[in-house]
Chains A and B, each alone.
Chain A
């Protein structure tokens, strides 16, 4: 977008460092990475070029919920991205810890750093992750820091509070890391990557020189290429002995002894939680995942815990294959400040301080993809704000990114928020292959992609439309093509010219044809909702003074301050009748304003 940007980080070497498992994608997240790629984000291409294992999940559940997942080389991932940033025009990187924000007349105008250097800017995007007053727990042991080995941003919280931003605590955890050569893999079940990997980036619409959307000088890195060997993961299970160790030491766990006040994610329970809450389950599945090609470090997926180190050691040794395992890093839980996201506009700009944008874990989410999606949107909107243009807002029916941000700003969250496909009302519209076609309405006007890629996507879209139309309206012997395809699905005979199109086009066309009935139904529901999304609610509206509105609804609306009627209708506890009343009120106010 050409805006002059400064990136401040406490440690340049940890840019894009994955705190937890170096895996990108998976359910809903995989689709989101493709959306990020469709909006000019770097995550997809970075994953494709540094992944060591690819798997397509949900093969059997249907095309809309199929999602790619990749295990990355942790260091390769972060260093490639660091390099990409270094080469990015208009971007300056500088290592310094931000100690506070500088405000003027209720607006943010810059920040202070630990080096006593002040930086001024039109807009500021804060993405502190788990670092805001980060506190790590291993049993009773506590250390300050946002991540093992990292610092804790201690003063920035006060500066946010000063602007009137409310902060709360959340908690997350990570399992121990093991030395690979101390693991006995014999007898463990192997999990291989897919023979034909599903990549994250849209390579079909990229020109070769477009592989990096940033200008690339210097040497071009060779990425992973199909055929080069993938690395395996391994599966093992907890034993009754593991359960006994956990139960006997429950009182020493930071989480169970009340040391931790933050709320943890339900979808990422600690091993303590699993044994306590699902006592009838005899054993729990664990994955051993390599952290890279050039390291012998392994991650034990499924064994997150805040038990003391000696107990962790016993616990690991009670697991088949890990009897002799050497721990490189302990499991730990981390608590941190987050700013409840209902204090944000859908642009991710703070309602409390103008020109201040928040993105990532600070908004109560968890996960790399969720963070990347917000970072991208907040970044674009920070530039649009400088230019005085309307913000980029992805609607709920346009993609998971839209669902993510809408959920955050209208409903908020009490646990670390993670995307699931079931959060989307219209997920059949969100098949991963259609992301760049769906989002071209946004990528094009804001020039988020290169001109050549935009024109390739437009071409792809017109081919898809052409074939949809052709198949629905042309007879082939016995009947209409589309009907035959819907009947025979995979085994359907296709017009031979369709077979000459790219596999991506073919796949998208077939998806749209086979699912036509469902997609129509979803689109009809979307249409119904659309008009209410367009009705904006004036900022100064006084809900308590609206005649006829139920008090409960008025309170909820005043609390969440929705921007449009669509958002208002999604707030739980606000019923349809109150929405009608609100609609009338808005119209009346507008008319009154027009008349005077």
Chain B
């Protein structure tokens, strides 16, 4: 059996569940990737430490990578495994860079599929893998179908229909040169391409939201030591996830957990308390809190309501806005003092992490805040994934190229080639688009035939 010559890449660990994320690439380009990205020789089965720099040379993370030569890899092909820090944005960036370097994002179960097809799994395992793949792709199918039947599918259908109409106008003049057609109206074609680009952009704009939906909205809990941050996390998670003690400085490293509030998935991150005069070890913890804060989508600023409020250090407060921050006055089961006015008109909730009073109010407020990330296309909610993004970006590139061709009055066959490639890209999302539809449109629009 012959195998796909392309190299696929994907996250191999579920997002946000581990301190390290594993990204796997499999296919003939794996060894070239090692040389290009790390400027190292691809030594099989040796974990190497290196800086991961993207195509533009920007440092993304220091990582551990391992190269596996075929057939001694999981898939049986040349493979590359990259462990980076468990921050999904780093992982996403690395993945995006691998795609930019020519990898294709793997479909659900595709690594297992290749492993199986390469004979890496024996027959007894095969059945199990089949089940696994079926289960996965059924899930993937269910999810994709939902979007396909629903909002995304409708938008893709609209895009394809308009593109097919545009193509029919170009094709009519190519396929029927002898016909008595009205003069070719290139302005209309240009207008249609503009509409296509705008609508493609609208869908592309949902890609960040898509990532948020899938990876969780990053929500960082900040506050002074002992304010009850870890208690708050436990209370939202619903179990004793974080260590809690009356000692200030209990939490040294950050820790994260996925939670669901309303229809949203949040990646909750507990951080080390912001001690104005930190001990050496605390300093490292605060440094990490700062890194987390820099990439947060939402903040929960926990304040001990029984004590006068200290100000946040400026490197933290600069990230906080009324839109992304919820102030949580904790320990409301105890006698509280009058709060001093906040630096901005933040929304506030009063709770007790100990007795769980105010939890629903907090959850409602969080859900409301999360909803502001939602991107609407028309009146619908759409969230595309990395694979969709890749295809739409490809389509957009072709549409832009077509526009230039139109302006420069290049041969129609090249204009058409760009538009056809854009159609193929749309098809990668919505499934095969029958070229017959171009002819259908063409015959419906033009009086053709002798």
Contact = CB atoms under 8 A, between A and B. Distances in A.
A41 B140 CA distance: 50
Interface in A40-92: 57-58, 60-65
Chain A, interface residues (CB within 8 Å), range: 35 or more
Contact of A285 (B116, B119, B179): B179
Contacts of A21: 450
Given A521-B421, A531-B4, A421 B174 contact: yes
A269 B413 contact: no
Interface in B389-403: none
B137 A581 contact: yes
Contacts of B133: 580-581, 584
B137 A421 contact: no
Give the most central of B116, B412, B438, B449: most A CB within 10 Å: B449
B8 to A, nearest CB: 12
Contacts of A137: none
A289 B127 CA distance: 67
Contact of B134 (A278, A581, A583): A581
Interface stretch (B155-163, B364-372, B429-437): B429-437
A474 to B, nearest CB: 26
Interface in B294-351: none
B171 interface: yes
Chain B binding surface SS class: helix
Nearest to A265: B449
Interface stretch (A208-216, A247-255, A451-459, A571-579): A571-579
A588 interface: yes
B246 interface: no
Contacts of B113: 580, 583-584
Interface string A269-310: 100001001100100110100000000000001101000000
A595 interface: yes
B380 interface: no
Interface in A565-596: 569-572, 574-577, 580-581, 583-585, 587-588, 590-592, 595
B117 A61 contact: no
A475 interface: no
A65 B176 CA distance: 11
Nearest to B411: A62
Nearest to A278: B447
B447 A591 contact: no
Given A535-B1, A587-B1, A591-B123, A57 B177 contact: yes
A531 B5 contact: yes
Interface stretch (A97-105, A333-341, A422-430): A422-430
B130 A547 contact: yes
Contacts of A266: 439, 443, 448-449
B413 A527 contact: no
Given A420-B439, A577-B140, A277 B413 contact: no
B180 interface: yes
B137 A580 contact: yes
A572 B431 CA distance: 8
A477 interface: no
A156 interface: no
B6 A528 contact: yes
Contact of B175 (A421, A515, A592, A595): A421
Given A421-B174, A577-B144, A587-B1, A572 B432 contact: yes
Contacts of A590: 1
A17 B178 CA distance: 24
A425 B420 contact: yes
Given A27-B175, A27-B176, A267 B431 contact: no
Given A27-B175, A580-B113, A584-B130, A592 B123 contact: yes
Contacts of A572: 432, 434
A284 B126 CA distance: 64
B289 to A, nearest CB: 42
B417 interface: yes
A531 B2 contact: yes
A227 interface: no
Nearest to A528: B6
A476 interface: no
A422 B413 CA distance: 10
B287 interface: no
16 contacts: A21-B450, A26-B178, A27-B177, A58-B177, A61-B173, A61-B177, A287-B450, A302-B450, A518-B414, A528-B4, A535-B1, A548-B137, A550-B141, A574-B432, A580-B107, A580-B110
Rank and list the top 4 A-B pairs by shortest CB-CB distance, nearest first. A62-B411, A62-B413, A285-B180, A548-B134
Given A284-B447, A421-B175, A577-B144, 7 more contacts: A62-B412, A422-B175, A531-B5, A534-B2, A548-B134, A580-B137, A585-B130
